[in-house]
């Protein structure tokens, strides 16, 4: 299994977070299978894998769809830890879900202990513009404060669905290459130092 994963290119681990009923599963299923499910059924946790082509490179994306309900918060922590990037979803028709993003953000930062973790703020249900109750400015403001991108999506019309996943994967990818560069840099620096010592 793991050998296969290696052969099929890199694996990016994405986690969906947000309150219950904002459309995390709907976004995931739309991205995975191009389907939109009308009837709502709360998720406990679900995980999906898909092969995609990211800027000409074949990669795999693992999507973990978490529970919005607080009942499953304990399980959630275990998943947050291994996530490489997060889509923090709220519904533009529901201010409470927008408020909750603050808590999710904090929780993620606490678990990952990293301000620069790949992260997108996602306002879902953009097709319901007439029922909008979260002003666009507030969304943009919060995203700016967190220094993360803000995107509005519609799982129903598939608007921007691919975009959020691909944008996040790009962030994860650049993050990974930064990390490895930093690592290599360290190694090189060490080597250089060692050589000097030997000469001296």
Q: Residues in the site for another protein, rule: CB under 8 A?
A: 1-2, 13, 45-49, 62, 64, 74-75, 78-79, 81-82
- Nearest approach in angstroms of CB 64 to another protein is 7
Which of residues 4 and 147 has its CB atom nearest to another protein in the complex?
4
- Nearest approach in angstroms of CB 50 to another protein is 11
CB 13, CB 83: distance < 8 Å: yes
- Nearest approach in angstroms of CB 194 to another protein is 24
Alpha-carbon gap, residue 110 to 113, rounded angstroms: 5
Helices (H), the chain: 2-7, 24-33, 73-82, 95-112, 136-146, 161-199
Separation in Å, CA 170 to CA 8, 85, 89, 132: 17, 10, 18, 29
Which of residues 14 and 88 has its CB atom nearest to another protein in the complex?
14
- Nearest approach in angstroms of CB 65 to another protein is 8
Alpha-carbon gap, residue 111 to 192, rounded angstroms: 35
Which of residues 71 and 96 has its CB atom nearest to another protein in the complex?
71
């Amino acid at each position: 299994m793991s050998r296969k994963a290696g052969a099929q290119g890199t694996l990016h681990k994405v986690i969906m977070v947000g309150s219950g009923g904002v459309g995390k599963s709907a976004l995931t299923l739309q991205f995975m299978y191009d389907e939109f499910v009308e009837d709502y059924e709360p998720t406990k946790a679900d995980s999906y894998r898909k092969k995609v082509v990211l800027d000409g490179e074949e990669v795999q994306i693992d999507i973990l769809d978490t529970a919005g309900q607080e009942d499953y918060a304990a399980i959630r922590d275990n998943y947050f830890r291994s996530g490489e990037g997060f889509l923090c979803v709220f519904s533009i028709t529901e201010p409470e879900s927008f408020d909750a993003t603050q808590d999710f953000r904090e929780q993620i930062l606490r678990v990952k202990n990293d301000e620069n973790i790949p992260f997108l703020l996602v306002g879902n249900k953009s097709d319901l513009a007439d029922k909008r109750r979260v002003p666009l400015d507030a969304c943009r403001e919060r995203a700016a404060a967190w220094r993360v991108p803000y995107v509005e999506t519609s799982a129903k019309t598939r608007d921007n669905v691919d975009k959020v996943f691909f944008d996040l994967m790009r962030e994860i990818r650049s993050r990974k290459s930064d990390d490895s560069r930093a690592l290599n840099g360290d190694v090189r620096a060490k080597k250089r130092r060692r050589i000097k010592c030997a000469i001296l």
